[in-house]
Copies of this chain bind each other. A is one copy, B any other.
Amino acid sequence: MTRIAIYDTTLRDGSQGEGVNFSLQDKLLITTQLDLLGVDYIEGGYPLSNPKDAAYFRAVRDLDLKHARVTAFGMTRRKDVAAEDDIGMKALVGVAMPAVTIVGKSWDFQVLEVLGVSLAENLSMITDSVAFCAAHTPEVVYDAEHFFDGYKKNPEYALRTLQAAADAGAAWLVLCDTNGGSLPDEVSKAVADVVANIKVPVGIHTHNDCELAVANTLAAVAQGARQVQGTINGIGERCGNVDLCSVVANLSLKLKGYEVLLPGSLVHLTEVSRYVHETANMNFRPGQPFVGTSAFAHKGGMHVHGIRKNAASYEHIDPALVGNERRVLVSELSGKSNIAEKLAEYGLEQDSALLTKVLDRVQDLENEGYQFEAAEASFVLLVERLAGRETSWFSSLGYHVSVSGRPDGAAVTEATVKLKAGDAIEHTVSEGDGPVNALDGALRKALEHHYPRLMEMRLFDYKVRVINGREGTAARVRVVIESQDDDSVWGTVGVSENVIEASWLALIDAFDHKLTKDARSSRSRVALAQT
């Protein structure tokens, strides 16, 4: 088995992605997750670039990391300054991490045009910087910025920059496709040339501007690269860095003879991916390979039919290998097999008349803007209502929400709810941080003494999507609420022209589902007891 070192730069290069903002706390939490996943290097940040990164390197010392080495990132020394006098160099070794990463220029055009120094001075900047860091830090990783562009234009000079870093004591030479414009054949050729001519281990750092980052990384590994740099979920500048989730899964599951991460850690891949999305406050990318929520989701009726006969018919790997799971979706394309599948999942009986009724209703609601893919609980309630279920836990008689805003930014929100629970009429009022929170409070006041288990549930996410009306049609709003209790998480949906009404619809479904599922599980417990 050939060991491929995984070098994560989510916290540094990743944080240059649009919409990515990590707090200091975020960075420390992600560091711990990456260590559990078994990555070999964690590039923590750029000591000089901002105070947050400086604070990170102080705080990270207190984390008890099992395996990963944290590296500090910086540039070669400035021109006409000795390395030991350069503030960047001093900051790099000052943080006293087990490794430092220095980026230098390999493209003659960049040296002359952007840096504005001679080709010779650039070589000394590389030599001095690597030598200085090597003297003060156990391991120096040298990132060759724009290596592939440089190699295309002036291979002789590009190779000399690598040789300079190697001679000065770099432990790794990482070839960077900084602009993401290279193609797999170009990468193969260049990596093969470097591996053949320079006797220091080589790494690969790609960006996804041509949607070829993963292919370029695998091409480099095939030619002898032994370190892969990337980010979790492929976040990063422009189109992002290569997604380590895809790289790691391909190297472990699709190719033969490579060893990455730690034994048994691959099953945490999906969890770590979602953790980083959440912590970075980014939306999941449902179609993300291997770890996305849709990566093993089946919608087309034909596919669902196939999956039921044999999973391999429409899945290239077992989702469990990366900690992901199969999902069967409900939509107008589903055909009855998906819906039957769902009903079975929830132990609902499935006569074909009901299936047809459900399918028709789903199609109508989707035309109104509903989507049940993220709101299965609302779908199940819909089915039970169409099946003519007996229990109604409560029925709404109306609500009122009022928000008063003051110039100082303080806003007071009050909600009243009127409903019928059993024979009792409840009319309650609550304040809240916002309308949904206040409605939630009033609903609880009205229902919790009837149904105490509602105290176990809480709302933890709220999504609003405007369904752009075309010219002449009013815009509608779809609200999806995610709720959880001790043993499950469920999504409910509401659609209306009014965001408050849509929220209300999703909210009462959330309560209804909690009560219904508890009743269902206690029924099944009774049934079990009787057998």
Chain B residues with CB under 8 A of A208: 287, 289
Contact pick for A215, options B215, B295, B335, CB 8 Å: B215
Q: How far is the CA of A404 from the CA of B439 in the complex (A)?
A: 12
Q: Which residues in window 1-54 of A have CB below 8 A to B? A: 15-19, 21, 23, 25, 49-50, 52
Chain B residues with CB under 8 A of A235: 287
Q: Do residues B212 and A313 form an inter-chain contact, with CB atoms below 8 A?
A: no
Chain B residues with CB under 8 A of A301: 49
Complex copy number for this chain? 2
Q: Which residues in window 369-420 of A have CB below 8 A to B? A: 371, 373-374, 395-407, 409, 411, 413
Q: How far is the CA of A461 from the CA of B468 in the complex (A)?
A: 8
Q: Is A353 an interface residue (CB 8 A)?
A: no
Q: Is A310 an interface residue (CB 8 A)?
A: yes
Given contacts A301-B49, A313-B113, A413-B500, contact A464 B464 (CB under 8 A): yes
Task: Tell me the minimal C-beta distance from A383 to chain B in angstroms.
Answer: 19
Given contacts A237-B303, A238-B287, A316-B209, contact A294 B435 (CB under 8 A): no
Q: How far is the CA of A403 from the CA of B213 in the complex (A)?
A: 50
Q: Is A234 an interface residue (CB 8 A)?
A: yes
Contact pick for A179, options B18, B314, B371, CB 8 Å: B314
Given contacts A208-B287, A294-B17, contact A500 B435 (CB under 8 A): yes
Q: How far is the CA of A46 from the CA of B240 in the complex (A)?
A: 36
Contact pick for A109, options B213, B312, B403, CB 8 Å: B312
Task: Tell me the minimal C-beta distance from A506 to chain B in angstroms.
Answer: 13
Which of A157-165, A263-271, A491-499 lines the interface with chain B? A491-499
Leading 8 A-B pairs by shortest Cβ distance: A181-B316, A215-B215, A464-B464, A434-B498, A211-B246, A433-B497, A18-B294, A411-B501
22 A-B residue pairings within 8 Å (CB atoms)? A18-B287, A23-B367, A50-B332, A109-B312, A114-B309, A183-B254, A209-B316, A210-B290, A211-B243, A211-B250, A212-B215, A215-B215, A238-B296, A238-B298, A281-B468, A403-B435, A411-B500, A433-B474, A433-B498, A435-B499, A462-B464, A464-B464
